[in-house]
Amino acid sequence: MDKGSTILVTGAGGFIGGHIVNELMQLGYQSVRGVDIKPLSEWYQHPQGEVAVQADLQKLENAIEATKDVRYVINLAADMGGMGFIENNKALCMLSVLVNTHLLRASLENGVERFFFSSSACVYAAEHQTEVDVIALKESDAYPAMPEDGYGWEKLFSERMCRHFSEDFGLQTRVARYHNIYGPEGTWNGGREKAPAAMCRKVAEAVLTGRHSIDIWGDGLQTRSFTYISDCVQGTLMLLESDFDEPINIGSNEMVSINQLVDIVEEIAEVSLERKYDLDAPKGVRGRNSNNTLIESVFNWQPSTSLKDGLEVTYRWVYDQVAKELLK
């Protein structure tokens, strides 16, 4: 892509958005416009040289303003969080469709050349995710459609909008289905954090307070794969620059149980904790993993950061945040 053209990153104040903006700046993109609904003081990162704007893209006029003179759009804006948030805020999650609708319309009006949409593994049909030893999810498993209620439906609907804007109007669209992205410089408390950050926080709290116990949602046997942020960023930019125009998984295929996730964080922290299981807490699907056959065949690529290596960095960062919080 032309590094002299303006590239818009929505959700730039969030976890993935902050890392993508930072990478674009380091790669030499000369005009990066970041937009987020949060006040600038609440953005996770502020890369030098970024044009940072606070705006609510659920409003069409703001989407039109944000996409003026823009050649490429990376749309990461969404009201979302971990399983505890999306299971209890289905309507809020679905309202993100306003952002996607308005950005697509605005991109068409303002002559945007290429549009990236961040979808999710939550689009996959529930019938494929009922066992802990789940068969890894390939892209075609999204149909017949029965995605995660609320959040998953919004993502799948927005995928279809991208497809039809491409077919009907010629807007080049790219769609990635992210699988549980984690890493430093993201949400680690407050109810919107995902499992890796939550486990890192709980273990750090146990170490720092001396209360050597940890609460785990469900029985701990549910399985997932987790994708480190640098792999997510690399895969996203690779897809955006490519000619591939079908939805594709960007996710690690290293599947672990939640108990095994805790094992790894305990090993990093050099601690052993008593585990208390909350069987009434939100648990999501029983098992989920990424099938990377398509991305390997098209790009000869898949995420390469091991869960242990990614959690090592994430835990150290979360530990520092917990320590600062306890000092207040």
Q: Which residues carry out catalysis?
A: 151
Strand partners, 9: 34, 74
Q: How far apart are CA 256 and CA 133, in angstroms?
A: 10
CA nearest to 19, candidates 178, 285, 236, 226: 236
Residue 317: φ, ψ to 5°: -70, -45
3-state SS of 152-196?
A: HHHHHHHHHHHHHHHHHHCCEEEEEEECCEECCCCCCCCCCCCHH
Q: Is 285 left (phi over 0), alpha (psi -120 to 50) or beta?
A: beta
Please report, for residues 101, 113, 282, the alpha-carbon distance to residue 146 in angstroms, rounded to integers and kept in the order given.
Answer: 21, 32, 19
SS3 102: helix
CA dist., res. 158 & res. 151, Å (int)? 11
Can you say whether the dihedral through the CA atoms of 259, 135, 303, 229 is positive or negative?
Answer: negative
Instruction: Report helix, strand or coil for 53.
Output: strand
Distance CA 296, CA 201 (A): 34
* Through-space distance between the first and last CA atoms of the chain, rounded to whole angstroms: 46
Given a contact cutoff of 8 angstroms between Cβ atoms, the answer to whether 114 and 134 are in contact is no
